[in-house]
Amino acid sequence: MDRTVHIFDTRSMTARERWPSCLKYECAGIKLSQEIPGMVYVCSVDNEVACGAWSAKMADHLKSTATGSESLMMSGANTKSPRRAFGFRGDVRLTGITRRNDGSEEIAVMSEAGAFYLLRRQRN
């Protein structure tokens, strides 16, 4: 297992982009954003979910629009990462991550204790 999100180009079998140290523990699942190109949701084997930029172009955009403290996360997962947009920690270990397939930006995460988290992107 790895704590890095790798985006591969299947035509040339090479890694296009990497988001290193995106979580405190290993990645258990990822879902690409349907509404924001260059963004990905990542679920850890522990209790953490993060959203961040897998593309360098989107990471540069996040850096230019960032506000507030540079250390926003208390999870210990690369808190000063310019690629991380937001994240949260659940109550116990997470069992999986999924996304609605109707074009909306809703990510669902389930925990071992039966808690169900739904992340909705607020529309402007």
- pLDDT tens per residue, range 9-21: 899 999 888 888 8
Is the pLDDT confidence value at 71 over 90?
no
State which residues form the domain around 79: 5-91
116: in domain: no
Average pLDDT over residues 100-106: 80
Task: Say if 57 falls within a structural domain.
Answer: yes
Task: Give mean pLDDT, residues 28-53.
Answer: 89
Higher pLDDT, 72 or 34: 34
Average pLDDT over residues 44-69: 81
pLDDT at 123 over 70: no
Mean pLDDT over residues 102-107, rounded?
A: 81
Q: 61-75, 79-93, 104-118: which has the minimum mean pLDDT?
A: 61-75
Domain count for the chain, please give it. Answer: 1
Return the HEC string of 20-63.
CCCCCCCEEEEEECCCCCCEEEEEECCCEEEEEECCHHHHHHHH
Does 12 map to a domain?
yes
